[in-house]
Amino acid sequence: MLAGDWRRPRKGRIPEVPLESGLVVESADEGFCGAAVAWDKSTVTLEDRRGQRRVFALEPAAFLLDGAPVTLVRPAEDTRDSAPRSASGSIAVEGLRSRVAKESRIYVEGVHDAELVERIWGHDLRVEGVVVEYLEGVDHLPDVIAEFEPGPHRRLGVLVDHLVPGSKESRIAEAVSSAHVLVVGHPFVDVWQAVKPSVLGIGAWPEVERGVPWKEGVLRELGWPEDPGSAWRRILGSVRTYADLEPELLGRVEELIDFVTTPTTADG
């Protein structure tokens, strides 16, 4: 009787629950519990009691409400408050003046990464007074950390491309471990892949054969002009909100922002 996935029973038996701000649910697959703070036609953003946010797809029986499987659906009439939202889904601060920059920093690998972070989280970072800089390649990370001299009130968050087990990036990240440095990454070869293909009107990012430069191979497969700068402007110009990006990137950037803005009580 208990055979199969009890968290995802037949569709006809799963109640649909309209989304509303503050609705507390749990992800059936990952166990993340939080309140709904934003949603669109295909995703919902949950925020847990520590302020961490995760983005989940609105799939049948994907959530638990009071321990029972439910399907979350957009309300027939949007009941969210009318407060303007930033591209990341947070409440926008009107008349914002950037704070004096904190000593803590977020580093990303390159210019494209920095521009994408600015497009979605720029408002949030200015509210918090956090500056984003780029490494010009993960190989420079040990030298950047040594020069930065991180500490309890001078934290360093780093976003790395292609951070998968056994990669050069993962070995470098393991070598710079520190209580005041957080290195996280996404599995994509390049940050281009963090943009959902549907946003660009393509079915999927092309597979590039080994030995061919990734961007060069992608442009050739897509039939786009072989000009990475022009291609990136096209990609970035298609991104409007967090919903246009893959969850693997969204979660990591939110994690870095939390890390560099959370006060510490320890002195070492």
Residues 63, 112, single domain; the answer is: no
Residues 27, 159, single domain; the answer is: no
Which of 53, 73, 93 is the endpoint of a domain? Answer: 73
Residues 129, 185, single domain; the answer is: yes
pLDDT at 102: 77
* Residues 178-184, mean pLDDT to the nearest whole number: 90
Residues 253, 144, single domain; the answer is: yes
Residues 135, 250, single domain; the answer is: yes
Residue 255 pLDDT more than 70? yes
Please tell me the total count of domains within the chain.
Answer: 2
User: Is 96 inside any structural domain?
Assistant: no
Buried b (16+ CB within 10 A) or exposed e, 12-34: eebeebebeeebebbbbeeebeb
* Residues 87-102, mean pLDDT to the nearest whole number: 66
Residue 11 pLDDT more than 90? no
For the chain, helix (H) and strand (E) counts, in that order, are 6, 11
Q: What is the pLDDT of residues 13-25, one digit of tens each?
A: 789 999 988 888 9
For residue 200, which of 171, 231, 172, 227 has the smallest C-alpha distance?
231
Determine which helix (DSSP H) or strand (DSSP E) holds 142, and give its type and residue range.
helix 141-148
CATH of the domain at 53: 2.30.30
Residues 186, 134, single domain; the answer is: yes
Domain that includes residue 16, residue range = 11-73
Which of 21, 49, 73 is the endpoint of a domain? Answer: 73
* Model confidence, pTM: 0.66
User: Is 85 inside any structural domain?
Assistant: no
pLDDT at 71: 93
How far from 57 is each of 20, 72, 220, CA to CA, in Å?
16, 10, 31
Residues 140, 256, single domain; the answer is: yes
Separation between Cα atoms, residue 129 and residue 122, nearest integer Å: 10
